[in-house]
Structures are given as C-alpha cells and as structure tokens.
Amino acid sequence: MKKMFILITVFLLFVSCGGSSTNNGDDQNQLNVENFFSRYLTTLCNAASTCTSGLVNQSNLANCPSLLKNSTTPFAGFNNGEMVIFEHKYQMLKSAEEMGWVKLDMAQAETCFLTISEMQPCDPFAFHLLDVAECAAVFIGTKPLKQDCTQNEVCSNGWCKMSGSSCNGSCSEYKQAGQPCKSNDRCAPGYECSSTGCVQKSLSGPNEPCISNSSCKSTLFCYIEGEDAYGTCLNRKGLNSPCTIDDECALGLGCIGNVCSASKVRHNAGESCGLQPKLDENEEDVVIECNRFSKLECNSSNYCAPLPTYNMECDKECDDTANLFCNETYHRCDWQLDAGSPCTSNKQCKTLYCARVTNPDGTLTDVSVCRVPECLTVVNE
C-alpha cells in the first residue's frame, strides 16, 4: 500500500510539472498581436539595414524598432488609405484580439516576414505593413457582414465600410477576382479595381514596363525617357553611383552633382543641416536632414544634435524611444502620461492618443485625456 502511494505521488508530480512546462511552451509560441508586431519591426529594421542608403546601419539598428513604433507622424495607406499613427493601429488590433474579433495566422505571418526581408525597404518610415498583401492576410476577422466595425481586419472576408467622418462602419463583402467593381468598392487583399473588374495587383520587376515608381517593386524606380508614356523598372543605384535624378538612387540618397550621395542626410552630431544657401542641379533648394535612426535632430542653429533626454531642454522633440515628450510649457523633456491623464496632444500620451471625453449623450466635451484609440480618425498635432 505504501509503495502504491509513493508511485501515485511521483506520477502526479510528473504530470503536474510536465503539463505546466508544455502549457508555458505553447503560450510562448502562440502568435498574438504583441509578438507579431515585435517580430515585424525587427524584421523590417534588419531588412532596411541591408540597403546602401545608410539610414539604418549596424550602429543605429537597435534604435530602429522603437523609433518606428513611437512615431507620431500620421500617414496614409496603412490599409486602404486611412490616416493612422502606427501605435494606434497596434493598440486597436490588440483590443480587437482581446474581444475575439481578430485572429492571426502563424503560417501566413512567416510568409509576411519573408516578403519583408526580400523587399529591402530602405526607408522603414515609408513602409506600410498592411499594404503588403502577404501581411494583410495574417489578420483573420471574425465579425460577420453588416456588423459594426472600426477597422477592416475585424471583418470576416470583408472590409469596414465607413460613411463620411463617422468612426463606426459596417462590415461589407470584398469583391472577388473577376467581379465587376466601382470606385467605392473594395477588392479582396492582393487585388485592385480596374475597368475589367477586380484584378490581381502586380508590380513590375527589373526591366519590365511601368508608368511611375509606384508601378515598380521596392528598390526599383521607373525610368521614363523623354516624353514617353511608359518606362522601364530599373534597380536603384547605391552610394557614389552616377545619376541624373534623385529617383535613380536608393531611398535615403540624393543625386548631387550627378552622383548618388548621402549628403542630404547627416549621420553625425555637429554636421550642418537644414536649408542650404545654394541650389542643386535642378535649381531647387537643398534641405539636409539629420539621421533620425541615429537619434539626431536639426537644432535651431542648423546643426545635427542628439535628441534630448529626460529633463533636458527641448524645442519640439525628445528621445521618443524612451517614452518622453517635449513639455511645451517648460521646454524640457518629460515622461509620457498614463491613460486617463489630461492632455493636449498625442505626443504627451504613452498610447500616443489624446482624445476628447464623450458625454453620455454622445456629444464631445472640451476635456481631452490620454486613452487607447478606438477608431482610425487621427487628431492633428
């Protein structure tokens, strides 16, 4: 009897420990919005570091993911043209996941990461995750058609159709390949509306025809000779290569004196920046920027300087990889505010979303607080 008791005890301990270990492993390997975006940012930055532009390099690669995630610049085209801040989209997808409105496809995520790695996005700020069909397909919506929605990814086999400036929309069905479509319709991811209906999007590769840079795959530009209507997609050129226009050079490089040059971006503190007192070969003003990925800004004296950190004097910007913002009252860097704190701009909030408080009747008050974003409407800074 005693021997049997010992055997049962050992068996229970074994099962308990084994079960705990297995569950933890499953939790760690399970794909969710948080670890997907973490891997996405790392993959994007690593891919950008292989470009000849020099914007992202081994010395500043570690800064890249945080800079992208904390950028407060709204941009169009994150998915179907909405204006959105990166952090807003991240927070909205997290909320949708918690509500069970969106799931992630692990196998498709690997395809997404591989696609990004092969694209060599030289300027990560200009790269929009959900405009890449292989990445848009990672998110699987669960909401049936005609249900309320605030973003496309929550709709099952459809998109979120909004009317006017209203934040809430209704899940509408995608038009499928070959189906006729109108300007206010949406084709399934990877397809676009044309005169013949929904057709598969196809970007031209090297030496293939094009009508503009947007017709070519990433790292290519559309070379059009003279007054020709069509051109040819060619590889962008690296540092010190001969050129005639900026488009010929890798993103982040400019054509200066008929040579692809990094002289439009400064990489070291103390170098001159801003509007230069001379014209380029096209008789246009030359504006030199400081490399944001190296945590540099162009100060009021037109010199590149390190972004200020906590409690340091600031003009407009602080080191936003450290959850700081420039307090315009004291002109010093201060910590970003928690949700529920009064605010006047997105930059003041940890969620990068400052919005007016809503009354019970749906009207807006004059009070703004930091909160998790709920829609794609961006408050202008």
Comparing 122 with 97, which gets the higher pLDDT?
A: 97
Distance between CA atoms of residues 188 and 66, nearest Å:
32
**H or E element that contains 102:** strand 102-104
C-alpha–C-alpha distance, residues 298 and 306, integer Å: 9
Instruction: Work out the pLDDT band at 13, boundaries 50, 70, 90.
Output: very low
pLDDT given for residue 252 in this prediction: 60
DSSP state of 338: P
Cβ of 35: how many Cβ atoms within 10 Å? Answer: 14
Within a domain: residue 82?
yes
Q: Which residues contact 145 (CB under 8 A, 6 or more apart)?
A: 155, 156, 157, 158, 171, 172, 173
Q: Which long-range contacts (CB under 8 A, 24 or more apart) does 194-203 make?
A: 201/133
In a domain, 126, yes or no: yes
Q: What phi and psi, each to the nearest 5 degrees, are found at residue 130?
A: -80, 0
pLDDT higher for 21 or 265? Answer: 265
Q: What is the pLDDT of residue 33?
A: 95
123 in a structural domain: yes
DSSP summary character for residue 241: -
Structure token pair of residue 23 = 């569950």
Are 151 and 92 in contact by the 8 Å Cβ rule? The answer is yes
In a domain, 239, yes or no: no
Cα separation of 85 and 134, whole Å? 21
134 assigned to some structural domain:
yes
Supply the pLDDT for residue 99: 94
Model pLDDT for residues 142-158, shown as the tens digit of each residue: 999 999 998 889 999 88
Question: The domain containing residue 74 runs over which residues?
Answer: 31-142
Of residues 254 and 247, more confidence is placed in: 247
In a domain, 186, yes or no: no
Question: Which tens digits make up the pLDDT trace of 206-247?
Answer: 899 888 877 787 668 898 888 888 899 998 887 788 988 888
In this predicted structure, the answer to whether residue 364 has a pLDDT above a threshold of 50 is yes
Q: Among 103-117, 222-236, 256-270, 345-359, which range has the highest average pLDDT?
A: 103-117
Q: Is 343 a member of any domain?
A: no
pLDDT higher than 80, residue 302: yes
Domain count, the chain: 1
Share of the chain above pLDDT 90, in %: 29
Q: What is the pTM of this model?
A: 0.75
Strand, coil or helix: what is 159?
Answer: strand
Q: How far apart are CA 10 and CA 33, in angstroms?
A: 39
* pLDDT tier at 307, thresholds 50, 70, 90: very high
Within a domain: residue 131? Answer: yes
Residue 359's pLDDT is what? Answer: 81
**Residue 268 three-state SS:** coil
> pLDDT tens, 267-292?
899 998 888 766 555 556 678 889 98
Whether the pLDDT of residue 26 is over 70: the answer is no
